[in-house]
Amino acid sequence: MLDFPNAKINLGLYVTAKRPDGFHNLASCFFPVKWCDALEIVTAPELAFTMTGLPVPGDPETNLCLKAFKLLQKDYNLPPVHIHLHKVIPMGAGLGGGSSDAAFTLRILNKLFELNLKALDLENYARQLGSDCAFFVQNKPVIASERGDVFRPVLLDLTGYTCVVVYPNIHITTAEAYGSITPKEPSCAMDLLVKQDVHVWKNVLKNDFEKPLFPKYPELPQVKEKLYAAGASYASMTGSGSAIYGLFKGEAPADLVFPHHYVVWKGLL
Ligand SMILES: C[C@](O)(CO)[C@H](O)COP(=O)(O)OP(=O)(O)OC[C@H]1O[C@@H](n2ccc(N)nc2=O)[C@H](O)[C@@H]1O
Ligand SMILES: Nc1ncnc2c1ncn2[C@@H]1O[C@H](COP(=O)(O)OP(=O)(O)OP(=O)(O)O)[C@@H](O)[C@H]1O
C-alpha cells in the first residue's frame, strides 16, 4: 500500500512554558502542505526497511517508520513487512517530515491489516513517537497546544494562496532550538490571531524561535525579507526552523529565485 506523507507549516508558534517532563507547552496553528515523501508498505517474508531520496542521518534501525511499525506490532502481532521510504521533505527544517512518515506508517498499517483503530487511538500511538506526529493522523488545520499534540479544530480558508517554502540547507535540530528559548505566554489567544486577515498577520503572528535563531543564522531573516519584498502577504519560519515560508495571494512571482544550494517548494494551499 502506497501513500504520500506530507509536510506541515506552523502559522504562529508560541512556546508558552517549560513542563516538568522537560518538554515545552506551545500554542500554534498547524497547517498541512503538499510537499510529500512517498511511503510504501507491503507484507514480506521478513521485516525490511529501505530508503531512497535524501539521505536520512542516523541508524536506519532508529528510523521513525520502523519505530512506528514496532510500536503497533507489540499490541497487534503484525506479520513482517517491507517498508520503503522515498525521502523528499528536508530534515532539520521544522516541516515535520519525519513525524509525518511515522504517522503515515501507523495509518497504512491500520488499513493494510484492518486493525480498525480510530483516529484518537492512532493519535495515542503517534504521540509516543514524537510531539508533532499526532497532527498527521487527521492532517487537517488545527490549533495545537500542550506538547503540540492536543488539538482544537480551526476554520481557516487559505484557498487561493500559494505557499513558497524555502529550506536554506541549514540543519537545525529541534532540541537545539528549544534549548535557546525563554518561554512566555502570547499576548493574544492563537484562535483570535489566525482569525484575522492574512495581511494583518505580519504585525501580530510570531514564531518565538525566530528571536534566538535569526541572529545565529543571518541567512534566515534575509530569506524572510526577500519573501516580503516579492509581495508575500505573510512570511515566517516554520516550527523550529530552518525552513521559511511565504504566503502569496494568487500566484507567487516567477522571478523569485534563491541560491542554488537552497531547496524551494511551491504549491497551492
Ligand atoms: C517545533 C515543532 O515542530 C512545532 O510544531 C515541534 O514542537 C517539534 O516536535 P518534534 O520534532 O516531534 O519533537 P520531539 O521529537 O517530540 O522532541 C525533540 C526534542 O524537542 C524538544 N521539545 C519538543 C517538543 C516540545 N513540545 N517541547 C520540547 O521541548 C525536546 O527537547 C525533545 O527532546
Ligand atoms: N523518517 C524519517 N525522516 C526524517 N528524519 C527521521 C526519520 N526517522 C528518524 N529521523 C531522524 O529525525 C531527524 C529529523 O528531526 P528534526 O527534529 O531535526 O527534524 P524536523 O524536520 O525539524 O522535524 P520532524 O522531526 O518533526 O520531522 C533526522 O535527522 C533523523 O535523524
Domains parsed from the chain with CATH numbers? 2-153 (3.30.230.10), 161-268 (3.30.70.890)
Query: How many C-beta neighbours within 10 Å does residue 174 have?
Result: 19
Q: Spell out which residues line ligand 2, taking CB within 6 angstroms.
A: 56-58, 63-65, 85, 91-99, 101, 130, 132, 173-174, 239-240
> Which one-letter DSSP state was computed for residue 64?
H
Side-by-side strand order, sheet with 142-145: 6-18, 24-36, 142-145, 150-153
pLDDT band at residue 96 under the 50/70/90 scheme: very high
- C-alpha gyration radius of the chain: 18
**In the structure grid, which three cell numbers stand for residue 220, read together?**
534566515
Closest-CA residue, ligand 2 atom 1, reads 98
For the chain, what is the mean pLDDT? 97
* Ligand 1 neighbourhood includes 8 CB (under 6 angstroms): no
Residue 10 and residue 167 in contact, taking contact as beta carbons nearer than 8 Å: no
The rounded Å distance from CA 100 to ligand 2 centre is: 10
Q: Which residues are tagged catalytic?
A: 8, 132
pTM metric for this prediction: 0.97
Phi and psi dihedrals of 222, rounded to 5?
-65, -40
pLDDT, tens digit (0-9, with 9 covering 90-100), for 125-172: 999 999 999 999 999 999 999 999 999 999 999 999 999 999 999 999
Cα–Cα distance, 224 to 208 (Å, whole number): 15
Cα–Cα distance, 90 to 76 (Å, whole number): 32
Taking each helix axis from N to C terminus, what angle separates 119-126 and 64-76, rounded to the nearest 10 degrees?
120
Taking each helix axis from N to C terminus, what angle separates 119-126 and 97-112, rounded to the nearest 10 degrees?
130
The rounded Å distance from CA 202 to ligand 1 centre is: 25
Interface pTM (ipTM) of the complex? Answer: 0.95
Q: Using the atom order of ligand 2, give the atom closest to the CA of residue 100.
A: 27
Between the alpha carbon of residue 164 and those of residues 35, 50, 246, 253, the distances in Å are 10, 30, 5, 10
